[in-house]
């Protein structure tokens, strides 16, 4: 059965670009031009993933996500921003949006993140490598705000591969959601020390630096892929 994806964006050309990219990968894609249409679509059927634009008329992506959670719509969600900032990253994370992408998107980036989110929310299979099984489980539990379970899987992942920039970055994400900012910064730093070109940790480190030095966050939260 095809995985169903809902794209919510007020720009028709943007929706079309995402649709072409994802339909060629075998996904079933539906569109909504704003929050009202999106909520109607959720009421009409199940989706495996929602892609929400951050800035839309009437209701932005985070407000739509908050409304989804109030209505018990727990669809995994990616936030798209053209502005390079998430003013309240902690609020966004606690709503489950720990996947952010910045416009303009390349088709490759969109495909990679969508595949990661779909896999993360799929049942585990015996064929999956143990490290990635724990890593995907940790991401899934972070989305659900089940921090005890997320911590357990992060510990297992780091036991298997303590030198994984992705696992270290995700541990930083986990700690940041718990508002343990200094510890989070330490794990982002460890990820960067292992791979100076690992962009998710670089972005997260920059955002924390700007948050505490300038009072605002100017970089999108980056979970990594």
What is the domain range of residue 39? Answer: 4-120
- Residue 204 pLDDT level (bands cut at 50, 70, 90): confident
The pLDDT value given to residue 88: 58
The pLDDT value given to residue 169: 93
Does residue 109 share a domain with residue 44?
yes
Burial (CB < 10 A; 0-12, 13-18, 19+), residue 86, is buried
**Average pLDDT of the residues in 51-55:** 89
Does residue 161 share a domain with residue 86?
no
- Residue 28 pLDDT level (bands cut at 50, 70, 90): very high
Does residue 197 share a domain with residue 162?
yes
CA torsion sign for 80, 219, 171, 177 is negative
Q: What pTM was computed for the model?
A: 0.62
The pLDDT value given to residue 112: 85
Does residue 170 share a domain with residue 102?
no
- Residue 195 pLDDT level (bands cut at 50, 70, 90): confident
The pLDDT value given to residue 5: 97
Residue 220: which of 56, 66, 122, 100 has the closest Cα? 100
The pLDDT value given to residue 85: 56
Task: Let me know: does 47 contact 18? Beta carbons within 8 Å.
Answer: no
In this model, does residue 152 exceed pLDDT 90?
yes
Q: In angstroms, how far apart are the furthest CA atoms of the chain?
A: 49
Does residue 78 share a domain with residue 40?
yes
Element spanning 79, H or E: strand 77-81
Domain count, the chain: 2
**Strand, coil or helix: what is 99?**
strand
The pLDDT value given to residue 27: 95
**Average pLDDT of the residues in 126-149:** 83
pLDDT digits (tens, 9 = 90+) for 77-120: 988 887 655 565 666 667 777 677 777 788 988 988 898 888 77
- What Cα–Cα distance (Å) separates residue 175 from each residue in 90, 111, 178, 187? 11, 28, 5, 9
The pLDDT value given to residue 216: 47
In this model, does residue 218 exceed pLDDT 50?
no
- What Cα–Cα distance (Å) separates residue 27 from each residue in 6, 17, 107, 167? 10, 14, 14, 28
The pLDDT value given to residue 3: 93
What is the rounded distance in angstroms from the CA atom of residue 181 to the CA atom of residue 129?
A: 30
Domain final residue, candidates 120, 139, 156:
120
């Amino acid at each position: 059965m095809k995985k169903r994806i809902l794209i919510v964006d007020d720009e028709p050309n943007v929706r079309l670009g995402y649709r072409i990219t994802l339909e060629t990968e075998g996904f079933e894609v539906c569109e909504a031009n704003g929050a009202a249409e999106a909520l109607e679509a959720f009421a009409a059927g199940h989706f495996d993933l929602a892609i929400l634009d951050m800035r839309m008329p009437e209701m932005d992506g985070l407000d739509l996500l908050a409304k989804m959670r109030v209505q018990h719509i727990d669809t995994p969600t990616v936030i798209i921003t053209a502005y390079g900032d998430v003013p309240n990253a902690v609020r966004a994370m606690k709503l489950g949006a720990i996947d952010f992408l910045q416009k303009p998107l390349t088709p490759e980036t969109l495909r990679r993140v969508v595949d990661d989110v779909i896999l993360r929310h799929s049942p585990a299979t015996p064929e999956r490598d143990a490290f990635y099984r724990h890593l995907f489980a940790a991401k899934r539990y972070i989305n659900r705000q089940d921090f005890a379970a997320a911590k357990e899987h992060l510990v297992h992942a780091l036991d298997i591969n303590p030198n994984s920039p992705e696992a270290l970055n995700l541990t930083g994400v986990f700690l940041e959601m718990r508002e343990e900012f200094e510890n989070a910064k330490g794990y982002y730093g460890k990820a960067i020390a292992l791979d100076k070109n690992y962009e998710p940790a670089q972005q997260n480190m920059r955002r924390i630096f700007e948050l505490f030095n300038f009072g605002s966050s100017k970089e999108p939260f980056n979970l990594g892929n």
